[in-house]
Amino acid sequence: MITIGNIQLQGFPLLLAPMEDVSDPPFRAVCKENGADLMYTEFISSEGLIRDAIKSRKKLDIYDYEKPIGIQIFGGDEDSLAMAAKIVDVTNPDLLDINFGCPVKKVACKGAGAGVLKDIDLMVRLTDAVVKSTNLPVTVKTRLGWDEQTKNIEEVAERLQDVGIKALAIHGRTRSQMYKGEADWSLIAKVKNNPRIHIPIFGNGDIDSPQKTVEYKNRYGVDGIMIGRAAIGYPWIFREIHHYMRTGELLPSPTVEERVEVSKNHLRKSVEWKGLVVGINEMRRHYSNYLKGLPGIKEFRNRLVTLKEVEEVEAVLDEVQQHYQGFEVERAPIVLENYHEHCAV
């Protein structure tokens, strides 16, 4: 059992990574239904919360069925982060997470996200300010370092633990790598095996199959694994991993019926949370992922991205189900690619 503050996670937990413009309530709902053990919101600007920006406040929406869930904030100013932590407190999540890992310029080059990796003393002060401003368990998500010459994650882990964080998730790349190359889990293992470290350590980066999950669990000894890009369009990865860890057997790929049902469920929740126009428009990018591997699906997909009513979309999805009834979708490697043009996930 893994403990984070008063949160208890059974077995080897699978965490859904916080992803900008991805990890919203509709997406989290389908991941939770398929076995995600702990989830996080999209990252939220501390300055936005303080200014009462509508978009930032909207990201605070969480629901009982999502629990346990953490709200993630980012920023580069101690007072702003402390005030944001007090605002988050009111929404009653299970934990509060600080983003020290987002590598994109609009965040990192403004001294937040992975940009804080340039100044470890500042990272410690920011974390300390948050810990002292909330009664929630505070966790951190970060990277190995700013670049190849500053892979200081071992020092970071010790110092953040000393100021009171309750868990640490580490992405196995530096900021300068962005999402290129292969994630290096060897330093994550060094943090986990450090005799000074007693908080849970979660590994993140390139996990795209049940087999790889078990391999990395055994090789690197982490307390759990955080999954991001591999869950986009494939929330079934959580249930597949859990099943494989219990039985050693691979589940068959989700059926066409399951893919259509998840598409409908995601659509309904998207419209419910975002409203009709935005909900339908933002759902369009998901269809190609949910229906990937179906031959000739482009014709249906082109229709799905032009429709403006829920009933119309669901009618086309019903056509998809009928057209491909009995078709067995072959298991294919999940392609780990950047998903959002403004913030790589």
Q: Is the dihedral of CA 24, 15, 29, 230 positive or negative?
A: positive
Residue (of 82, 84, 154, 146) closest to 119 by Cα position: 146
Residues 140, 106 contacting (CB under 8 angstroms): no
The two tokens of residue 254 are 């989700």
Alpha-carbon distance of 195 to 162, in angstroms, equals 14
Instruction: Give the residues across from 226 on adjacent strands.
Output: 15, 204
Alpha-carbon distance of 228 to 17, in angstroms, equals 5
The burial of 219, by beta-carbon neighbours within 10 Å (0-12 exposed, 13-18 middle, 19 or more buried), is given as exposed
Question: How many whole angstroms from its chain centre is CA 45?
Answer: 16
Pairing between β-strand 38-40 and β-strand 14-16 as defined by DSSP bridges: parallel
Amino acid at 238: F
Residue with tokens 């190995």: 144
Residues 274, 303 contacting (CB under 8 angstroms): no
* Cα end-to-end span (Å), the chain: 29
Alpha-carbon distance of 264 to 270, in angstroms, equals 10
Residues designated as active site: 102
Alpha-carbon distance of 329 to 258, in angstroms, equals 11
**Distances from the Cα of 208 to the Cαs of 137, 152, 226, 320, in angstroms?**
29, 26, 11, 26
Residue-by-residue DSSP string for 130-144: HHHH-SS-EEEEEES
Alpha-carbon distance of 155 to 141, in angstroms, equals 15
**Distances from the Cα of 260 to the Cαs of 292, 311, 321, in angstroms?**
11, 14, 7
